Amino acid sequence: MATKRKTRTKKPAPAKKATTRTKKRVTASKAPKNKKQPRRAPTAPPGYKRVCLMTGGGDAPGLNSVIRAFVKASEDLGIEVLGSEDGFEGLIQSGRLVRLRRSSVRGILPKGGSILGCSNRANPFAYPEKDRRGRERVRDMSKEVLARIERHGIEALVMVGGDGTMSHGRDLMRLGVPVIGVPKTIDNDLAATDYTFGFDTALDTATWAIDALHATAESHDRVMIVEVMGRYAGWIALCAGIAGGADVIVIPEIPYDPERVVRKIQQRSELGATFSVVVVGEGARPIGGTRATVSKGRKGHVERLGGAGHELAQRLQGKVSHEIRVTVLGHLQRGGSPSAFDRLLGTRFGVEAALACQRGDSGIMLALRAQDIVSVPIEEALAEPKLVPSAGQLVQAARHVGIELGA
């Protein structure tokens, strides 16, 4: 009987383990096809898209440099710029807001003044107007300003000005308006910044005038008194007096003794000098006296200074052997083409103001510190005026070169 052969069942080969690459491929194949991934909502860029620029207070050389740079930089950053004519007038009166583009600022860099205009009367919290009888009164127009800001979709105010403009900006900021300040004054008395644009040009003008008066003073054997601006700060008087070789400088920070001025002129005569040049800051006053004013300040406005040079001339009359003449430079110091320094500083301020708008800054003022433009709180700029230190290096330099300071 034949023996049955056992058939050996062949075991199936064990499955190979999938490699990492294979796993990835399988996983990928199982993913649903054509399924759109959710897109993130675009994040809105920070900062303001529509701002209003104004030049408040008195005019100063270099204002157009700021306007030009700010408009150009803002357009480059996608920011729309409106200009308020004559300071706050544009936000108080209708029809005084203008759109500023690159074409609006072409060719204005070397020009003095402001293409927007300035006003030191348009205080939004004490706006002067006349009643039915023609009497002047002041009125709070801040609600009208806020309404016009909202109506025109203005997201921030860029205010170029001195302490008065900055104080208005601080008050508007407290009402919820974002504010960015740019320091401007020929007086150079704004705290928190080393220099304000406009000062350098005014200083050049005053120095030129002192140089010119030297010749006529010497020709006629006269005492020439030059009254310069600066309000309660003596930066223009002291710096221009030193640069122009004045014999006497009297500044608001150091009340003067008229007898010391007389002695200085007499000493020069004894040494053979037939003339003297005296520089007077408009806010200067004699020891125990008061400042000379043209008019008192109404509510919300400061007093108007003037006459300090003539007052000193009266105190010298009859005590010196020379004829005395007084020259008041006045607004001559505010005009003219800005110096290279003021053009450069104004341009830097304008660009930095546009960048501050892009960042969405508020409640700050730009300031020059050493070689850099920085941001400081507006309150810091208004803490106290920047006056000439009575014992500082500038005063000591004047004394050491023989200039009489009256005290």
Domain for residue 377, yes or no?
no
How high is the pLDDT of residue 301? 63
218 and 309 housed in the same domain: yes
How high is the pLDDT of residue 326? 96
Within 10 angstroms of residue 140's Cβ, the number of other Cβ atoms is: 13
Three-state SS string over the chain comes to CCCCCCCCCCCCCCCCCCCHHHHHHHHHHHCCCCCCCCCCCCCCCCCCCEEEEEECCCCCCCHHHHHHHHHHHHHHCCCEEEEECCCCHHHHCCCCEEEECHHHHCCCCCCCCCCCCCCCCCCCCCEEEECCCCCEEEECCHHHHHHHHHHCCCCEEEEEECHHHHHHHHHHHHCCCCEEEEEECCCCCCCCCCCCECHHHHHHHHHHHHHHHHHHHHHHCEEEEEEECCCCCCHHHHHHHHHCCCCEEECCCCCECHHHHHHHHHHHHHCCCCCEEEEEECCCCECCCCCCEEECCCCCCCCEECCHHHHHHHHHCCCCCCEEEEEECHHHHCCCCCCHHHHHHHHHHHHHHHHHHHHCCCCEEEEEECCEEEEEEHHHHCCCCCCCCCCCHHHHHHHHCCCECCC
How high is the pLDDT of residue 321? 87
243 and 146 housed in the same domain: no
Q: Which two tokens stand for residue 15?
A: 């499955």
- Residue 52: name the closest of 33, 79, 25 by CA: 79
How high is the pLDDT of residue 45? 55
233 and 316 housed in the same domain: yes
Domain for residue 169, yes or no?
yes
How high is the pLDDT of residue 175? 95
107 and 188 housed in the same domain: yes
User: 328 is in which domain, residue-wise?
Assistant: 203-336+390-400
How high is the pLDDT of residue 48? 96
Domain for residue 75, yes or no?
yes
Domain for residue 58, yes or no?
yes
109 and 173 housed in the same domain: yes
How high is the pLDDT of residue 42? 45
How high is the pLDDT of residue 136? 82
279 and 396 housed in the same domain: yes
- Strands 293-295 and 304-305, bridge-based pairing: antiparallel
Q: Which two tokens stand for residue 111?
A: 């020009």
Q: Which two tokens stand for residue 254?
A: 């150091």
The residues facing 161 across adjacent strands are: 183
> Going residue by residue through the chain (407 aa), what tens digit of pLDDT does each one get?
444 444 454 455 554 444 444 434 434 344 445 555 555 544 445 799 999 999 999 899 999 999 999 999 999 999 999 999 999 999 999 889 999 999 999 999 999 999 999 998 889 999 988 878 878 888 999 999 999 999 999 999 999 999 999 999 999 999 999 999 999 999 999 999 999 999 999 999 999 999 999 999 999 999 999 999 999 999 999 999 999 999 999 999 999 999 999 999 999 999 999 999 999 999 999 999 999 988 876 665 678 898 999 999 999 999 998 999 999 999 999 999 999 999 999 999 999 999 999 999 999 999 999 999 999 999 998 989 999 999 999 999 999 999 999 99
Domain for residue 149, yes or no?
yes
CATH number of the domain encompassing residue 184 = 3.40.50.450
132 and 244 housed in the same domain: no
Q: Which two tokens stand for residue 295?
A: 């008019």
Q: How many domains does the chain have?
A: 2
Which residues carry out catalysis? 187
How high is the pLDDT of residue 120? 85
285 and 312 housed in the same domain: yes
